[in-house]
Amino acid sequence: MRMVDLIIKKRNGNAFSNEEISYIIDRYVGGEIPDYQISALLMAIYFQGMNFKEVSVLTDKMMHSGETMDLTSISGPRVDKHSTGGVGDKVSIPLAPLVASAGLIVPMVSGRGLGHTGGTLDKLESIPGFSSRINKKHFVEYLSRSGAVIAGQTHNFVPADKQLYALRDVTGTVESIPLITASIMSKKLASGTDGLVMDVKTGSGAFMSSLEDARRLADMLVETGKFMNKNIRAVITDMNEPLGEYVGNSLEVYEAIEFLKGRGEERLGKVIFQLGSHMLVLGGIVNTPEEGITLLEEKIKNGEALARFGEILKNQGGDPAVIENPERLPISDKKEVFSLPYSGYISHINTRKVGLA
């Protein structure tokens, strides 16, 4: 096989065989195929797409490109959540401790910023000392101790996605349903979760700006999950304006802490409770999303979710004092104030531009 022939094959709109997908992933991770050829291939996939069988094989190959987590030693329902990416989307930060305090095991493997969207890991790393680089032994240890871990990909964990993700970010090939599906599902399946709730964003700040594309992405994610024997649900949520009131790494950590203290902005709270309640249903902790919301509200009120966040920070080297003293979080020294000479209300925001800023 020659890589150039495979690029031409996809450029001309043909489907890959299982062997061809294995060839591409094995050789790319092994350092035998240069980035410029994979960039051309990603662009061909962007324009020509992939069928369901190709996406499933790609997901499986990417998932097995490094080591996978075995969490069978941990008792409790393992359920995770992942977002397709948005602006001001800090949901994972309060959600992981919240649902863990309600009894779920959350092995969360998150990403970095992609395109105009922020990354959970970049946000968490604004907390002094916090580390998302966790080895397999500590991943299992922290999970059994506190019910949640928020980690990044080490060079051994889904290396195929780590490399492809970085390349897509700089080659204009992010907004592709097959590539987003394989990227998300490979990470989530390798982390040892049984259930997954997908937050599929739609609107001006999402990769899938139209509702129709968001539905197609949600379908592809759910079908791929089923094919891999996982229990998966997708919730489509609005990204026509930034989520919450803050955008930016440390600002979003601040807002996540405010939410856990019971002072969250309403729209942000709605998304967190919706996703969390579906996670609890998937994990068998409650029977309906309504029961789930009641339980989660209780965990915020009685302070258990916030306490769990402190434990996660301690496990991962972060300074738990930021919870009571948010001034310990770094703040940018560049400020620009925009004011109007008259009063009014904002009717529309170009969310993508806010993300880029």
List interacting residues with ligand URA (CB under 6 A): 84-85, 111, 114, 180, 183-184, 187
Which amino acid belongs to residue 260? L
Q: Which of 10, 78, 82, 352 is catalytic?
A: 82
**Closest distance to ligand URA from the beta carbon of 122 (Å):** 13
Q: Which is nearer to ligand URA, 85 or 248 (CB)?
A: 85
CA distance 92 to 88: 11
Catalytic residue among 183, 186, 191, 204: 183
Give all strands of the β-sheet with 79-83 in edge-to-edge order: 79-83, 195-202, 231-238
CA separation for the pair 242, 205 (Å, rounded): 7
Residue 293 region, left (φ>0) first, then alpha (ψ -120 to 50), else beta? Answer: alpha
Which is closer to ligand URA, CB of 90 or CB of 187?
187
CB of 21 to ligand URA, least distance (A): 17
Decide if 224 contacts 185 (C-beta within 8 A): yes
For residue 242, the cross-strand partners are none
Q: What's the N-to-C CA distance of the chain in angstroms? A: 44
Q: Which residue's Cβ lies closest to ligand URA?
A: 183
**Minimal distance in Å, beta carbon 142 to ligand URA?**
21
Residues near 197 by beta carbon (within 8 Å), at least 6 away in sequence: 79, 80, 81, 82, 232, 233, 234, 235, 275, 278, 279, 282
User: To the nearest whole angstrom, how small is the minimum distance from the Cβ of residue 353 to ligand URA?
Assistant: 19
Q: How far is the CB of 184 from ligand URA (least distance, A)?
A: 5
101 is catalytic: no
> Between 65 and 84, whose beta carbon lies closer to ligand URA?
84
Which one from 61, 81, 90, 187 is the annotated catalytic residue?
A: 187
Q: Is 17 a catalytic residue?
A: no
Query: The tokens of 8 are what?
Result: 């031409």
58 or 285: whose CB is closer to ligand URA? 58
Least CB distance to ligand URA at residue 114 (A): 6
Q: What is the Rg, in whole angstroms, of the alpha carbon atoms belonging to the chain?
A: 20
CA 207, 210, 211, 212 torsion-angle sign: negative
Residue 132 annotated as catalytic: no
The active-site residue out of 61, 90, 168, 230 is: 168
- Pull the structure tokens for residue 275: 């996703």
Cα separation values, 230 from 7, 172, 223, 274, Å = 32, 30, 10, 20
Three-state secondary-structure class, residue 167 = helix
Instruction: For residue 213, indicate whether it is catalytic.
Output: no
CB 222 to ligand URA: min, Å: 16
315, containing H or E segment: helix 304-315
By C-beta, is 40 or 184 nearer to ligand URA?
184
Which one from 161, 186, 201, 278 is the annotated catalytic residue?
161
- 75 catalytic per annotation: no
3-state DSSP assignment of residue 148: strand
Give the span between the Cα atoms of 313 and 323, in whole angstroms. 10
Specify the residue, 134 or 217, whose C-beta has the smaller distance to ligand URA: 217
Nearer to ligand URA, 107 or 310 (CB): 107
Question: What residues act catalytically?
Answer: 82, 161, 168, 183, 187
